[in-house]
Amino acid sequence: MQRTFIVILVVGLLALGAAIARPASEAQLMAAQEATPGTEGTPTAVAGEVDDLRERVSELSTQVAELGGADQEALKGRLGGSRAGFDDLYGRPAAYVAPHEVMYAVPDVGRVTVLFAGDKATSIILTPTRAPDLPFDQPDPADWAQDAALTIATRFYPADAVTAAPADSGGATFAVSGSSQALTGAITPADTQGCPASGATAFTASFTRTSAGAISAIVIETAPPSDTTLLPVEPVPPEQGQLSQGGTRAMANSSLGGTVSVNGVTVVATSAQPNATGPRAVPAGYQLYTVNLRIENQTAQPLPYELSNFILVDRKGNEATAICGGVEPAITRGELAAGNGIDGVVTFEVPEGYRAVRFVVLVNGARAGFNLR
C-alpha cells in the first residue's frame, strides 16, 4: 500500500512539473537533435512554488527508487540498472524530465539523462555541460575529445559488455555495438511459455560529432526487442494432417528407466508422472505431464538443447513439445558443456484425455525414444 501511494503521488507531481524541470538541451537531443519548441501558454510558476514542487518530487521519487530490488553489480548505475542504483552512485536527480526519465549531474561527466522502463535503464543520454540550446553539431569548450568520450561511455555499459570496434566512417555520427549477458536477465522478459531469456542482449552507443570533431553527445540504448515469441505446441488431431514425425521414429529405444546412447549423448528417462502439480497455472481441460530425465554430453563439443527437443507422443501419434514454467528443477533450454551432465524435469501441457505412450529426446540429429507403457 505504501509503495502504491508513493508511486501515485510521484507520477502526479512529475506530470505537473516535467515542463518546468526539463532542460532544453536534453529535449533537443531526444528529438533527434532538432530543437523542441516550448509549450505555449504554460503558466509561469512562482519561484517558491517551483522549489517546493521540485523538493517534494525529489523526496517521493527517491523513496520509490529505494523500494526497488538490488541491482547486479554489473548493472549498477549502468544500462539495465535500476533507479535505486543510479541514485546510490550519483545522488538525487538534478531534473525530472518525465515520470520515467530523470537527469543526473555527474561532475566528471556532465548531464546523464536516463529513461527507465520497468525500473530498468533502457536508454542513457550523456552530454557535457555545454551551453543550453546550442545545436549539437556546433562546438562548445565543454565537449569531449573522442578518446575521452569512448572511455566515458564504457562507464555506462554493463560491466560484462563485449563491444566491437567503433563503426566510424568520419561522418557526423558513429556507433559502437555491444552485447551483455547481465542485460538479458535484467530487461528481457520471459517468453509466452514462461521461459527466461537466454543469450546476450545487444545494445548500441551512438556518438555525435561537432563541426570541430569533438563529441557533444552519446546515446546508449538497448536494441529493439524481437517480435519473435515461442508459443506452446498443442497435440494436433490426426485428421488435420499436420503431425510432425520427429518423435515417432526414434533411432534408439528403451523403456522408462532405461538408458539410450546416441551420437555421444546418453539419455536416461527415470520416471514419468501424468496429472503432475507445478507452479504453472493449467487451463481448464489440460494437465501437466512430467518426465524425470538425465542427459550426459560425452562429446567434445557443447550440446545445445531447446524445448522442441523434448517430445511426448500418444497412441495415435499426436505430439506435444515441452513447456517452460513447469515442475522444478526444470530442463528447458540451454547448453550442456562437453563432459557435463544435467538432471531435471521436462514438463508438458496436454489435454486431460491425452495418453502418452512414448517420450522422445532429439539429440545431435538422432532420436532417443522411451516407451512409457
pLDDT per position as a tens digit, 2-24: 444 444 444 444 444 444 344 43
**Mean pLDDT, rounded, of the chain:** 77
Check residue 189 and give its pLDDT: 56
Tell me whether strands 252-255 and 366-371 are parallel, antiparallel or unpaired.
Answer: parallel
- The residue whose grid cell reads 523434448 is 310
Give the count of beta carbons closer than 10 Å to the beta carbon of residue 331: 24
CB 313 within 8 Å of CB 274: no
* Highest-scoring range by mean pLDDT, 1-5, 39-43, 89-93: 89-93
pLDDT of residue 57 exceeding 60: no
Is CATH 3.90.79.10 the classification given to domain 247-371? no
Which segment of 232-241, 264-273, 277-286 scores lowest on mean pLDDT? 232-241
Burial of 47 (0-12, 13-18, 19+ CB in 10 A): exposed
pLDDT of residue 116 exceeding 80: yes
Check residue 115 and give its pLDDT: 94
Question: In the chain, count of helices (H) and strands (E)?
Answer: 6, 19
- 295 or 323, which is more confident: 295
- The residue whose grid cell reads 525414444 is 369
Instruction: Give per-residue pLDDT as tens, 154-176.
Output: 999 999 999 999 988 889 999 99
Confidence grade of residue 82 (pLDDT, cut at 50, 70, 90) = very high
Q: What percent of the chain has pLDDT over 70?
A: 70
Check residue 79 and give its pLDDT: 95
Check residue 327 and give its pLDDT: 87
pLDDT (average), residues 330-356:
90
pLDDT of residue 187 exceeding 80: no
Angle between helices 47-66 and 83-90 (to 10 degrees): 120
Burial of 101 (0-12, 13-18, 19+ CB in 10 A): buried
- Burial pattern 298-313, b for ≥16 Cβ within 10 A else e, equals eeeeebebebebbbbb
Domain ranges of the chain: 2-222, 247-371
Check residue 181 and give its pLDDT: 83
Check residue 166 and give its pLDDT: 92
CB 267 within 8 Å of CB 331: no
pLDDT (average), residues 183-194:
63
Of 25, 30, 188, 185, whose CA–CA distance to 101 is shortest? 30
Half-sphere exposure of 51 (CA within 13 A, CB side): 3
Q: What is the pTM of this model?
A: 0.52
The residues pairing with 221 across neighbouring beta strands, listed in sequence order, are 123, 204
Confidence grade of residue 326 (pLDDT, cut at 50, 70, 90) = confident
- 178 or 41, which is more confident: 178
Confidence grade of residue 188 (pLDDT, cut at 50, 70, 90) = low
- In angstroms, the Cα distances linking 236 to 215, 239, 354 are 58, 8, 11
